[in-house]
Chains A and B, each alone.
Chain A
Amino acid sequence: MRNHRNRYFKELEKQIEKNETTSSHEKTARNAIQNKQDKKSNISEFQSFFQNCSDLSCTEFPHLDIKIYYFPYLIDKTIYDQHLSEIRNVTKEEFEAYLNQSEFPVLQDVINVEEAVLSGSCILFFQDIAYDIPVKNGETRSISPSETETVILGAHDAFVESIDVNLSLIRRRVLSSKLKAIKLYVGSQAKKVVYLLYLEDLVSETDIDHLKKRISSIKNDGIVDTNMLVQYIDEHPNSPFPQFYTTERPDVTVYKLFDGKIVGLLDDSPFAFCTPVSFFDFMESMDDFGQRWVVSSFIRILRYIAIMITLVFTALYVSVTTYHYEMIPQALLPTLLESRSRVPFPPVIEALFLELLLELLREAGARLPTKVGQTIGIVGGIVIGQAAVEAGITSNILIIVVAASAIASFVIPSYLMSASIRIVRFSFIIIAGFWGNIGIVFGMGIVIIHLSGLTNLNSPYLLPISPMYPKFLKYTLLRGPFKKKLKG
């Protein structure tokens, strides 16, 4: 056997030397042979890698001296059977010739063999040389509408868990060779593919290099989602605010690409991330672009008001009812006092209790199946709406205040930002309970200082407000008309 193989190698070497226009495939094969001469056998090393992996299948053809390894559920059985039918009835010499002519790449390193079999290839070992037969199973969840970012106007498709499908969703929207894609890997043991997409001429090379470095430096395994990945590469990991914009909508992704952003896709994640983004990107929805600009601008202003309501409305209630009764108009005072008189707790406890209850309700609703979720909604509605007041635990007015700030928090289009702001709101309520209005102002100061210090890929988080670029304001705070944007 060994003699036969050595003869085969020698013949192959002679043939390569003779042939001046050596194909790259043959070059690879020659390298593989050279490498093999002082290395232990590929196949045994491969087998040691997958020891105790009983789901790895092996098909043997002893008369041809070949072994084919694959994971049955990762490959496309039809293509696999086609390949198999071709080699079933051939002789060894014919098979050798077939392999030399075929386009199956030779895998030199056993690490590459490992990667290939895990990504859905069949590995054919012939005379201890590994050939990669790509028979990847293209099965994936079908494209469906987005559940986290619903829109009324605009496209309805959303990303799925396959990076190839996600890439196709973007490519078919950007019909230009200017759209570039850089392939990177994250992790040390189980490497995952990340694609960085950008439009040439719209993105600075420094930004891309910077991002490439940061992603490549991640050695952690088990990054299963884009929203996890971005937390490894952001500049301020302790900030409660999201710094990378993540979306599961291809139309948003394409819009961001044309806006000069870099987009990242992670394999097995239905989310793309965009960078560099600012706070105001989280306030945009694709619906804004479908509506008339006057309507969209009004809605955007409404969202900023919603942020303020979410942040300070409950805190202001606590502050006013604890320290500043003089701020309540005469007409409202009796109603408020009557409502508050039955509550045995200070306003801050009352508010925190209700806000916590609401957060519990929201979290329970998010985790439960839809049918049970409805029940939770009804139970929660009754508890928060009526029972709490009748039991004398909270006041009527507080319920209105808490409900208003909860509704306002859901107006914020980005789920991540909405969650962050709701969390920050709790600190405002506590601080208002301690120090009243001056406490709220102090909290506001901290938040503003923190936000203006944040950066995303070295770009200020509050751009274009601070540093200020007035001509961009109408496209961030408002949604300016398209015509003028094209001219500008």
Chain B
Amino acid sequence: MKEKLSPIQVSILVYMIQSGVILFSLPRLTGEAFGTNGWISIIIVSVIVNINLILIWFVFKVGAGRSMFELVNGIPKWIRLILSLFLAGIWLGLGTMVMVKYILLLKMLFYQNVSTLLLMTMGLILTYLLVKRGIYHIAKATVVLFYFTVWTIFLLLFHLPDFSFIRLTPFIFQGEKDLLRGGAGIYTALLGYELVILFLHNVEEKRLKAILVGNTITSIIYLGVCFVSFGFFSFDMLLEDMYPVVTLLEYISFPVLERVENLIFSLFGLKVLITTVMYLWASKEVLEQQFQRIKPKYLLLIILSLSFFISIFQKIMRQVDQWLEYLAWIEVVIAFLLPLILLIVAFFTRKVNKEHSL
């Protein structure tokens, strides 16, 4: 690959991977997990993510700028094969489930009569167009998609007149709590950043800053949405509403258009698309390293077919949520464990290289 990614592209890419459909239920999730003023928990979670990102960056530093695939060359082939298949499987599953979840939600809220498979096909066509040209093209398209979607955050200004600090209550993290499970749920809202490990070596400069800024953008947007929701809804109402952010959108009306939540939610699909695209791209990259004889184009088609095949069986939201929860838990472990493994490998190879040079 000739072209390198610029730091701004990387920041935006990180934000777009992280930002997902969970945003629509996030205020409720924070409330359920941390109680009153649960929105503050986003800051805590964001700090943990930053630590994880620093860990990934450290791998890059110790590995002297080598890519993940160059680093794992030191591991025996059969372990590499198992690891690759495992990672590819998880990422394929996550990418697919994120899109299926969005589609089921879209279907449930607005398009009851539209077939899931049709919407899935639309999503996979866009995914194919993006993934086939590689990470540089994905990053370029992501920046434009970012501009097309990020303005929606300013719609929160519509809620300011009805925002009340009294609803925030003076109590922090009080009431019923579900710290471990709920906290992990919120953590999964920020997932996606771990894919940075695959393209960090392709970034031009200011790598650490770029990825941290990306996570900060996501955190600020999540924080803003949650904060407004906590001040707009009463705490009890927030816990009752399945998708409080959709309700927020329903409230917006323009002089010539109202009930724009349909349009905004559809537009949000472009953010979900990038999440899916990046997970499927990651899956393709890992498999491409292992099966170099298969043409990348065929590999991509196999991945997309598998993704489509998985989506056929997902009919109920609860089932998808369950899958997403399991996959996200595994992904959290991967997010921490993969950099650690690579760090150890990088450290040893560095040591061996030093001994050789001596």
- In whole angstroms, what is the CA distance A449 to B122 when docked? 14
Asked if B217 is at the interface of the complex by the 8 Å CB criterion, the answer is: no
The 0/1 profile, CB within 8 Å of B marked 1, for residues 420-453 of chain A is 0000000000000001111011101110111111
Flag if A441 contacts B6 (CB, 8 Å): no
**If the complex has contacts A462-B144, A465-B143, are A453 and B269 also in contact, measured as CB distance less than 8 A?**
no
Flag if B126 contacts A442 (CB, 8 Å): yes
Asked if B310 is at the interface of the complex by the 8 Å CB criterion, the answer is: no
Flag if A329 contacts B266 (CB, 8 Å): no
- In whole angstroms, what is the CA distance A449 to B125 when docked? 11
A38 to chain B, nearest CB (A): 52
Asked if A86 is at the interface of the complex by the 8 Å CB criterion, the answer is: no
**If the complex has contacts A452-B140, A462-B140, are A467 and B119 also in contact, measured as CB distance less than 8 A?**
no
Flag if A467 contacts B140 (CB, 8 Å): yes
Residue of B at shortest CB range from A466? B143
Flag if A448 contacts B269 (CB, 8 Å): no
Residue of A at shortest CB range from B136? A467
Query: Which residues of A are found within 8 Å of B148, using beta-carbon distances?
Result: 444, 448
**If the complex has contacts A437-B266, A441-B269, A441-B270, are A327 and B260 also in contact, measured as CB distance less than 8 A?**
yes
Flag if B114 contacts A327 (CB, 8 Å): no
Contact of B8 among A324, A437, A450, A468 (CB under 8 A): A468
Flag if B111 contacts A438 (CB, 8 Å): yes
A330 to chain B, nearest CB (A): 8
Asked if B130 is at the interface of the complex by the 8 Å CB criterion, the answer is: yes
Asked if B9 is at the interface of the complex by the 8 Å CB criterion, the answer is: yes
Stretch at the interface among B82-90, B185-193, B250-258: B250-258
B129-161 with Cβ < 8 A to chain A:
129-130, 133, 137, 139-145, 147-148
Interface residue range, chain B: 35 or more
**If the complex has contacts A438-B106, A468-B9, are A449 and B129 also in contact, measured as CB distance less than 8 A?**
yes
- In whole angstroms, what is the CA distance A465 to B12 when docked? 12
- In whole angstroms, what is the CA distance A442 to B137 when docked? 18
Asked if A62 is at the interface of the complex by the 8 Å CB criterion, the answer is: no
Flag if A441 contacts B9 (CB, 8 Å): no
Flag if A467 contacts B143 (CB, 8 Å): yes
Asked if A363 is at the interface of the complex by the 8 Å CB criterion, the answer is: no
Between A326, A328, A437, the greatest number of chain B beta carbons within 10 A of the residue's beta carbon is seen for A437
Query: Which residues of A are found within 8 Å of B257, using beta-carbon distances?
Result: 320, 327-329
Residue of A at shortest CB range from B11? A468
- In whole angstroms, what is the CA distance A320 to B263 when docked? 10
Residue of A at shortest CB range from B122? A442
Asked if B262 is at the interface of the complex by the 8 Å CB criterion, the answer is: yes
- In whole angstroms, what is the CA distance A437 to B119 when docked? 12
Asked if B61 is at the interface of the complex by the 8 Å CB criterion, the answer is: no
Contact of A467 among B6, B256, B260, B266 (CB under 8 A): B6
Residue of B at shortest CB range from A450? B129
Query: Which residues of A are found within 8 Å of B269, using beta-carbon distances?
Result: 438, 441, 445
Asked if B259 is at the interface of the complex by the 8 Å CB criterion, the answer is: yes
Instruction: Tally A residues with Cβ within 8 Å of B.
Output: 30
- In whole angstroms, what is the CA distance A452 to B257 when docked? 30
A441-488 with Cβ < 8 A to chain B:
441-442, 444-446, 448-453, 460, 462, 465-468, 470
- In whole angstroms, what is the CA distance A436 to B119 when docked? 12
Flag if A438 contacts B270 (CB, 8 Å): no
- In whole angstroms, what is the CA distance A449 to B262 when docked? 23
Asked if A332 is at the interface of the complex by the 8 Å CB criterion, the answer is: yes
- In whole angstroms, what is the CA distance A326 to B114 when docked? 18
Query: Which residues of A are found within 8 Å of B9, using beta-carbon distances?
Result: 466-468
Contact of B259 among A327, A435, A449, A467 (CB under 8 A): A327
Flag if A435 contacts B147 (CB, 8 Å): no
Flag if B144 contacts A327 (CB, 8 Å): no
Residue of B at shortest CB range from A324? B262
Query: Which residues of A are found within 8 Å of B130, using beta-carbon distances?
Result: 449
Query: Which residues of A are found within 8 Å of B266, using beta-carbon distances?
Result: 437-438, 440-441
- In whole angstroms, what is the CA distance A76 to B262 when docked? 72
- In whole angstroms, what is the CA distance A329 to B260 when docked? 11
- In whole angstroms, what is the CA distance A324 to B257 when docked? 11
Query: Which residues of B are found within 8 Å of A438, using beta-carbon distances?
Result: 106, 110-111, 114, 119, 122, 266, 269
A318-341 with Cβ < 8 A to chain B:
320, 324, 326-329, 332
Flag if B256 contacts A329 (CB, 8 Å): yes
B198 to chain A, nearest CB (A): 19
Contact of A435 among B5, B114, B126, B141 (CB under 8 A): B114
- In whole angstroms, what is the CA distance A437 to B258 when docked? 14
Residue of A at shortest CB range from B133? A453
Flag if B6 contacts A448 (CB, 8 Å): no
B230 to chain A, nearest CB (A): 28
Flag if B140 contacts A445 (CB, 8 Å): no
- In whole angstroms, what is the CA distance A460 to B262 when docked? 33
**If the complex has contacts A435-B114, A438-B269, are A329 and B141 also in contact, measured as CB distance less than 8 A?**
no
Query: Which residues of B are found within 8 Å of A441, using beta-carbon distances?
Result: 266-267, 269-270
The 0/1 profile, CB within 8 Å of B marked 1, for residues 328-357 of chain A is 110010000000000000000000000000
Between B145, B258, B266, the greatest number of chain A beta carbons within 10 A of the residue's beta carbon is seen for B266
Asked if B228 is at the interface of the complex by the 8 Å CB criterion, the answer is: no
The 0/1 profile, CB within 8 Å of A marked 1, for residues 313-346 of chain B is 0000000000000000000000000000000000
Flag if B114 contacts A468 (CB, 8 Å): no
- In whole angstroms, what is the CA distance A247 to B262 when docked? 42
- In whole angstroms, what is the CA distance A326 to B129 when docked? 33
Asked if B273 is at the interface of the complex by the 8 Å CB criterion, the answer is: yes
A398 to chain B, nearest CB (A): 15
- In whole angstroms, what is the CA distance A466 to B139 when docked? 8
- In whole angstroms, what is the CA distance A140 to B106 when docked? 64
Flag if A465 contacts B260 (CB, 8 Å): no
B38-92 with Cβ < 8 A to chain A:
none
Residue of B at shortest CB range from A468? B8
Flag if B256 contacts A453 (CB, 8 Å): no
Flag if A329 contacts B126 (CB, 8 Å): no
Flag if B129 contacts A446 (CB, 8 Å): yes
Flag if B114 contacts A449 (CB, 8 Å): no
A82 to chain B, nearest CB (A): 60
- In whole angstroms, what is the CA distance A449 to B5 when docked? 17
Query: Which residues of B are found within 8 Å of A436, using beta-carbon distances?
Result: 111
The 0/1 profile, CB within 8 Å of B marked 1, for residues 294-306 of chain A is 0000000000000
Query: Which residues of A are found within 8 Å of B140, using beta-carbon distances?
Result: 452-453, 460, 462, 466-467
A253-303 with Cβ < 8 A to chain B:
none
B280 to chain A, nearest CB (A): 15
**If the complex has contacts A435-B114, A438-B106, are A448 and B259 also in contact, measured as CB distance less than 8 A?**
no
- In whole angstroms, what is the CA distance A324 to B114 when docked? 14
Query: Which residues of A are found within 8 Å of B260, using beta-carbon distances?
Result: 327
B357 to chain A, nearest CB (A): 37
Residue of B at shortest CB range from A467? B6
Of the A-B pairs whose beta carbons lie under 8 Å apart in the complex, a sample of 11, sorted by A's number, is: A324-B263, A328-B257, A445-B126, A446-B129, A448-B144, A448-B145, A452-B144, A465-B144, A466-B141, A467-B140, A467-B143
Question: 7 additional contacts, CB 8 Å, given A440-B266, A446-B129, A468-B143?
Answer: A329-B255, A436-B111, A438-B119, A438-B269, A448-B141, A465-B147, A467-B5
By Cβ-Cβ distance, the 3 closest A-B pairs, closest first, are A466-B143, A452-B141, A452-B140
